Amino acid sequence: MHMPFGGRQVSGDGNDLAYTDVLTGLGNHRRFCDRVDRLIRDRADDPAPFAIGILDLDGFKPINDLLGYQAGDDILAQIAMRLRASMDSHSLVCRIGADEFAFLCPMVFSEEAAAEKARTLIEILSAPYDVGERTARLSASAGCSLFYSQDETTGILLSKAETALYHAKRSGRGQVMVYTREMEEAARRLTHIEQALRRAVSTGEVEPHFQPIVDLRTRRIIGFETLARWTDPDLGHVSPAIFIPIAEERGIIGPLSQLVLRKAAEAARAWPDDLFLSFNLSPSQLVDQNTGHHILAMLERTGFNPRRLEVEITESGLMSDSASVAKIIDELRRHGIRIALDDFGTGQSSLSRLREFPFDKLKIDRAFVSSMLKDRPSQHIIRAILSMCDGLGIHVVAEGIEEEEQAECLLEFGCQAGQGFLFGKPVDATSTLALLRGLMRNIPQSAAI
């Protein structure tokens, strides 16, 4: 007969370091799998359900960056104490990753009860943590799965819980998901898209499209933003809203970005020299210290002037690793590349970021532009952004302009540049070059765009 799955983690292997996480004193991944294996064997004759779950800390890395690794370790130790205290005599909690914890609840028999247990743990973890003379707050996301039959192994249960966790994190911070068959089908589709995307990147099938950025006063095109587009032989057109997050999550964004930048730079060499090329960097690229080197090497190979390139980063990208972002920005700016802060006003960074990082340009998010004609607060926010950027010497581009009245209003407010469907939709390299050649033959821009 086996010992209970107690919160104190006492068992026959309790003193075995091979089963223990040294930092927190909890069991490790090996212990967790051993206990779940044992419980499955115990219920061979009567497969009563039980629940497992994975807790993933949201935003733990920035705490390490801001407060130091010792503070991070202190918080992990406090988390372990809270989780251990929240387990009944039958249950188990282990640390299975850097900021991931797994729990096993043998007496939880339903999806509703599993979700409620996970929500309780998340609530317990949300209370402030003491770090010296400071306090810190954390949220967590959770994915759960239930054992129903002998066909399910520990590996399968963990895989299902990871799938549920993936969906929870995509839904926002502090969310709980319990595995369902629909998730499995969605996961299969994501895997299918991932495999097709890897093939498309390796064979160069992803293409850059270009959207005009114009001077709002003269309506002259001053540059283009690069946007990735992909049409698969089997899947058809795949929205970037689908394949870009997959590329981020599955580690494809680096080679994808390099492919699109190479093609974009090659196309832009044929443009007039006074037009710039704008290119987006993802948050994961901003924590990779090779990013600057890759961009500069690509520009050298294609013969594209770095001074004609603008790199756009988002507010969420700034929060990933401030020190890494600063190094990448500094390296790029030393070679004449300009830096733009994209989607301003919708992220979570503070205004102090504008002081910390040397931005050349700021892009007002389309959410403010789309509502500005009917929403007075949006107008005040846009005016405030423009006034602030004027004082800081930062150029401004308004995104998502679709109506002439929006463009006129922005110009009246003092905005210099804009982009949106009013001026042109994203088109491929051939169509972009044809547009520019038409303009160079003195065709009026209003007719050409």
Per-residue pLDDT, averaged over 114-133, amounts to: 93
Per-residue pLDDT, averaged over 76-85, amounts to: 96
Average pLDDT, the chain: 89
Pick the CATH number of 193-448 from 2.40.30.10, 3.90.550.10, 3.60.10.10, 3.20.20.450: 3.20.20.450
Q: Does the pLDDT at position 172 exceed 60?
A: yes
Q: Which of 245, 212, 418, 227 is nearest to 316 (CA)?
A: 245
pLDDT at 70: 86
What sign has the CA pseudo-torsion 256, 326, 396, 442? Answer: negative
pLDDT at 320: 65
Residue in this structure with the two tokens 């981020």, named with its chain if needed: 248
Residue 219: pLDDT band with limits 50, 70, 90: very high
Q: Does the pLDDT at position 321 exceed 80?
A: no
Q: What is the residue type of 421?
A: F
Q: Are 213 and 418 in contact (CB under 8 A)?
A: yes
Q: Does the pLDDT at position 12 exceed 80?
A: no
Q: Does the pLDDT at position 11 exceed 80?
A: no
Residue 288: pLDDT band with limits 50, 70, 90: confident
DSSP state letters, 372-417: TTT-HHHHHHHHHHHHHHHHHT-EEEE----SHHHHHHHHHHT--E
- Residue 326 is encoded by which pair of tokens? 């600063």
pLDDT at 368: 92
Say how far apart CA 7 and CA 212 lie, in whole Å.
60
Alpha-helix runs per DSSP H in 250-375? 253-268, 291-302, 315-320, 322-334, 352-356, 366-371
Q: Does the pLDDT at position 443 exceed 70?
A: no
pLDDT at 352: 66
Q: Does the pLDDT at position 66 exceed 90?
A: no
Q: Does the pLDDT at position 201 exceed 80?
A: yes
CATH architecture of 17-179: 2-Layer Sandwich (3.30)
CB within 8 Å of 316: residues ≥ 6 apart: 283, 347, 348, 349
The tens digit of pLDDT for each residue in 337-348 reads 999 999 886 655
**Class of residue 169 by CB neighbours under 10 A (exposed 0-12, middle 13-18, buried 19+):** middle
Query: How many helices (H) and strands (E) would you count in the chain?
Result: 17, 16
Q: Which of 316, 318, 308, 244 is nearest to 278 (CA)?
A: 308
Q: Which of 364, 372, 367 is nearest to 416 (CA)?
A: 364
Per-residue pLDDT, averaged over 306-329, amounts to: 86
Q: Are 160 and 145 in contact (CB under 8 A)?
A: yes
DSSP state letters, 141-195: EEEEEEE-STT--HHHHHHHHHHHHHHHHHT-TT-EEE--HHHHHHHHHHHHHHH
Q: Does the pLDDT at position 14 exceed 50?
A: no
pLDDT at 61: 75
DSSP state letters, 93-110: EEE-SSSEEEEEETT--S
pLDDT at 134: 83
Q: What does the angle CA 362 – CA 366 – CA 368 come to, to the nearest 5 degrees? A: 90
Q: Does the pLDDT at position 386 exceed 90?
A: yes
The tens digit of pLDDT for each residue in 354-364 reads 777 889 999 99
pLDDT at 349: 53
pLDDT at 135: 84
Q: Are 277 and 226 in contact (CB under 8 A)?
A: yes
Q: How far, in Å, are 157, 411, 447 from residue 424 at the CA level? A: 49, 18, 11
pLDDT at 447: 42
Q: Does the pLDDT at position 257 exceed 70?
A: yes
Residue in this structure with the two tokens 């043998």, named with its chain if needed: 106
Q: Does the pLDDT at position 6 exceed 70?
A: no
Domain spans in the chain, listed from the N-terminal domain onward: 17-179, 193-448
Residue 71: pLDDT band with limits 50, 70, 90: confident
pLDDT at 344: 83
Which conformational region is residue 48 in: left (phi greater than 0), alpha (psi within -120 to 50 degrees), or beta?
Answer: beta
In the chain, % of residues over pLDDT 70: 93
What is the distance of C-alpha 3 from the center of its chain? 43
Q: Does the pLDDT at position 84 exceed 80?
A: yes
φ, ψ for residue 99, nearest 5 deg: -130, 35
Q: What is the residue type of 15?
A: N
What sign has the CA pseudo-torsion 18, 16, 50, 53? Answer: negative
Query: What is the reported pTM?
Result: 0.72
Q: Does the pLDDT at position 19 exceed 60?
A: yes
Q: Rounded to the nearest 10 degrees, how much is the dihedral formed by the CA atoms of 429, 433, 436, 437?
A: -170
In the chain, % of residues over pLDDT 90: 71
Say how far apart CA 311 and CA 189 lie, in whole Å.
32
